[in-house]
C-alpha cells in the first residue's frame, strides 16, 4: 500500500504542472499494437487533411514497454496528449487523476453511449460519472483450432459448436480436449496407456494463470458460463466473490486439465516467457486454444515449418452449466492526459478516432472489431471475403447477449499484484483453488483500508 500511495503522490504532483512534449500543433498519440498502427496512420492522414493546422505523431511500443513508459512519462512530465487505454489499466489512472474528463472538452462533450456496441461506452466512466475514455474497439473470446489436428483425430469441426462443459467431469469439451491430446508414443489422452508426463501435443493451449486479466483468455469463459461474477457490481465494485464455490470448483477443474496432461503446463509454454497460444498451435504444442478477437490476424498468418499456410478455424466457447456460452467483454478506448497542453485539439483527435470515418477505416483493416456497429460489420466482411474466415464465434456473443464486462475496480494495480502470484500457484499445482478464499479476503481488505 505504501508503494502505491507514493506512486500516486508522485503522479499527482507532476500532473499539476508541465505538459507533454512535442511541437505546437502536434498531437502526440501512443498505442501498443503494431498491427493497428497502419490503420490509425490512415486515420491520422484523414484527420490532418480536415484539420490543416494539426499534425498527429504516432508512437508505438510493445505491450510491456508501453505501460512502463507511460507511467514514467507521467512522472517525468513527458506524457503524450492521447494514449490508447485498456480496461484493466484504466481504473488506476482514474485513481491517480491523470486522465482528463472528456465531458468537459467541447469536441468530446457530445459522445453518446448509443453510438457504440451496447454496454461498451459505459465502462469508460469513472465513479464520478464522467467519461475518461472514448471507445475505439471491443473484443470477445472464442476458440481457434488447427483443422489438420481435428481431421487426424476424426473430429468434425462442426461438433465444436455443440460442446458443453461442467466442473465435475468436463463434459464433451474435456472429452474432445482429451482426444486431441497425444503423447510422445502416439497414444491419445482418452486411450489406455496415455503418458501424461510425456505429451507431444496438448488438446488445449495454455495462456498462463490469468491473474493479471481476470482470466480473460484463460478461464473467464468457463466461470462466466457457470454464472459467476467477480465483484458485487461492475464497474467500481468493492467486494469480491473469489470465495464462492462456483469459481473455486471451476478453476479446480480448469487447472486440473494441466495435471491430467490435456492442457499445456507452465514449463511447456516457456515458463515466465510464455509462448502465445497461436505459436503453440503453429508449433504443434497444442491443437486448440482460447484467444481474443484481437488475435485473429495473428492466427490467420500462421504457417507450418515448410512455409505453407495453416488451415485455422474458429469455434465458439463451450456451453456451461447455465445452459449458455459466455465471454468476457473488453475493449480499448482513447484517453487524454492531464499533462496535455492542447486538450481541445487532443479531444478533436479522440472524437475523430471514435467517429464513423476512422472506425470504418479500422473495420476495413480487419485487425479488430471497431466500437461502432457499422465498423464491426466491415471487419466481419473483411474476414469473410479476404481471409475466408467465419468470425461469428466472436460476434455471436454480442448478438446473443452472452457477454459480461471485465471487472473494473479501484486499486487496480494492487488487485493485480495480489492476484497474479495466487493464480500462478494454482496453475503450477502449488496451491488448491480453495486458496482463493484467502485471496478474496486480501482483496476486500484493500477497500476497507482505502475507506
- The CATH number that applies at residue 184 is 3.40.190.10
pLDDT > 70 in the chain, percent: 94
* The predicted structure's pLDDT at residue 24: 65
Based on the fold, state whether residues 315 and 180 are members of the same structural domain: yes
Q: Is the pLDDT of residue 295 over 70?
A: yes
Residue 241 sits in the same domain as residue 178 = yes
Q: Is the pLDDT confidence value at 102 over 80? A: yes
Q: Which residues contact 56 (CB under 8 A, 6 or more apart)?
A: 26, 27, 29, 44, 47, 48, 349
Query: Quick one: 268 and 217 in the same domain?
Result: yes
Whether residues 301 and 209 share a domain: the answer is yes
403 assigned to some structural domain:
no
What pLDDT was estimated at residue 12? 43
Which tens digit of pLDDT belongs to each residue from 336-392? Answer: 999 999 999 999 999 999 999 999 999 999 999 999 999 999 999 999 999 999 999
* pLDDT tens digits, one per residue of 388-410: 999 999 999 999 999 999 999 99
> Is 78 part of any domain?
yes
Largest Cα span, the chain:
72
Tell me: pLDDT of 184 over 70: yes
Q: What torsion, rounded to 10 degrees, do the Cα atoms 419, 424, 430, 432 define?
A: 50
pLDDT of residue 451: 53
Say if residue 441's pLDDT is above 90: yes
Q: What is the number of domains present in the chain?
A: 2
Question: Is 151 part of a structural domain of the chain?
Answer: yes
| DSSP symbols for 155-188 | --GGGGGG-B--TTT-HHHHHHHHHH-EETTS-B
With respect to residue 396, please indicate whether it lies within any of the assigned structural domains.
no
Q: 394 lies in a domain?
A: no
Residue 450's pLDDT band, with cuts at 50, 70 and 90, is low
Q: What is the pLDDT of residue 370?
A: 97
Which residues, at least 6 apart from 430, have a Cβ–Cβ distance to it below 8 Å?
A: none
The string of pLDDT tens digits covering residues 1-59 is 443 444 444 344 334 433 454 556 899 999 999 999 999 999 999 999 999 999 999 99
User: Is position 395 within any domain?
Assistant: no
Sign of the alpha-carbon dihedral angle for 392, 118, 419, 249: negative
When pLDDT is averaged across residues 216-220 and rounded to a whole number, the result is 97
Domain with 70 in it: 2-137+333-387
Q: Are residues 268 and 315 in the same domain?
A: yes
| All three cell numbers of 12 | 499527482
Q: Do 80 and 225 have their domain in common?
A: no
Specify the DSSP class assigned to residue 201.
E
User: pLDDT tens for residues 240-254?
Assistant: 999 999 999 999 999
337 and 418 housed in the same domain: no
198: in domain: yes
Please check whether residues 368 and 252 belong to one and the same domain: no
- For 131-178, the pLDDT digits (tens) are 999 999 999 999 999 999 999 999 999 999 999 999 999 999 999 999
Confidence at 272, pLDDT banded by 50, 70, 90: confident
Residues 47 and 15 in one domain: yes
Q: How far apart are CA 382 and CA 155, in angstroms?
A: 28
Strand order in the sheet with 141-146: 182-183, 199-204, 286-292, 141-146, 312-315
* 416 and 270 belong to one structural domain: yes
pLDDT of residue 271: 79
What is the value of pTM for the model shown? 0.92
In a domain, 36, yes or no: yes
189 and 274 in a single domain? The answer is yes
Verify cis geometry, omega within 30 degrees of 0, for the bond prior to 358.
Answer: no
Inter-residue contact 229 to 404 (CB < 8 Å): yes
Q: How far apart are CA 316 and CA 416, in angstroms?
A: 28
82 and 209 together in one domain: no
Which pLDDT belongs to residue 437? 98
Amino acid at each position: 500500500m505504501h508503494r502505491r500511495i507514493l506512486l500516486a503522490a508522485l503522479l499527482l504532483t507532476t500532473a499539476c504542472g508541465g505538459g507533454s512534449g512535442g511541437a505546437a500543433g502536434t498531437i502526440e498519440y501512443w498505442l501498443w499494437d503494431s498491427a493497428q498502427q497502419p490503420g490509425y496512420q490512415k486515420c491520422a492522414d484523414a484527420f490532418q487533411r480536415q484539420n490543416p493546422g494539426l499534425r498527429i505523431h504516432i508512437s508505438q511500443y510493445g505491450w510491456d514497454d508501453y505501460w512502463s513508459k507511460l507511467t514514467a512519462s507521467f512522472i517525468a512530465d513527458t506524457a503524450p496528449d492521447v494514449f490508447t487505454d485498456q480496461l484493466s489499466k484504466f481504473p488506476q489512472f482514474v485513481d491517480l487523476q491523470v486522465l482528463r474528463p472528456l465531458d468537459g472538452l467541447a469536441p468530446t462533450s457530445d459522445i453518446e453511449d448509443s453510438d457504440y456496441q451496447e454496454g461498451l461506452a459505459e465502462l469508460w466512466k469513472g465513479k464520478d460519472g464522467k467519461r475518461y475514455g472514448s471507445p475505439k474497439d471491443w473484443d470477445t473470446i472464442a476458440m481457434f483450432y488447427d483443422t489438420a489436428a481435428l481431421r487426424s483425430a476424426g473430429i468434425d469441426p462442426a461438433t465444436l459448436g455443440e460442446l458443453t462443459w461442467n466442473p465435475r467431469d468436463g463434459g464433451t469439451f474435456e472429452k474432445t480436449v482429451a482426444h486431441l491430446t497425444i503423447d510422445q508414443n502416439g497414444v491419445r489422452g482418452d486411450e489406455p496407456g496415455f503418458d501424461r508426463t510425456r505429451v507431444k501435443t496438448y488438446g488445449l493451449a495454455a495462456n498462463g494463470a490469468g491473474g493479471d486479466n481476470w482470466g480473460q483468455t484463460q478461464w473467464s469463459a468457463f466461470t462466466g458460463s457457470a454464472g459467476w461474477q467477480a465483484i458485487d457490481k461492475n464497474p467500481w465494485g468493492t467486494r469480491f466473490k473469489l470465495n464462492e464455490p462456483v469459481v473455486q470448483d471451476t478453476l479446480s477443474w480448469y487447472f486440473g486439465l494441466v495435471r491430467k496432461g490435456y492442457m499445456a503446463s507452465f514449463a511447456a509454454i516457456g515458463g515466465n516467457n510464455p509462448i502465445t497460444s497461436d505459436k503453440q498451435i503453429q508449433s504443434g504444442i497444442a491443437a486448440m486454444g482460447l484467444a481474443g478477437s484481437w488475435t485473429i490476424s495473428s492466427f490467420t498468418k500462421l504457417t507450418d515449418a515448410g512455409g505453407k499456410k495453416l488451415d485455422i478455424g474458429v469455434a465458439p466457447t463451450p456451453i456451461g452449466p447455465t445452459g449458455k456460452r459466455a465471454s468476457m467483454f473488453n475493449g480499448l478506448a482513447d484517453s487524454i492526459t492531464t499533462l496535455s497542453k492542447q486538450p481541445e485539439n487532443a479531444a478533436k483527435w479522440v472524437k475523430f478516432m471514435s467517429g464513423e470515418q476512422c472506425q470504418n477505416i479500422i473495420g476495413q483493416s480487419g485487425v479488430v472489431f471497431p466500437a461502432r456497429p457499422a465498423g464491426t460489420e466491415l471487419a466481419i466482411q473483411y474476414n469473410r471475403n479476404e481471409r475466408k474466415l467465419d468470425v461469428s464465434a466472436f460476434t455471436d456473443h454480442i448478438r446473443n447477449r452472452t457477454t459480461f464486462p471485465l471487472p473494473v475496480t479501484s486499486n487496480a494495480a494492487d488487485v493485480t499484484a495480489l492476484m497474479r502470484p495466487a493464480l500462478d500457484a494454482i496453475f503450477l499445482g502449488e496451491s488448491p483453488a480453495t486458496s482463493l478464499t484467502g485471496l478474496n479476503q486480501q482483496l476486500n481488505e484493500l477497500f476497507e483500508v482505502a475507506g
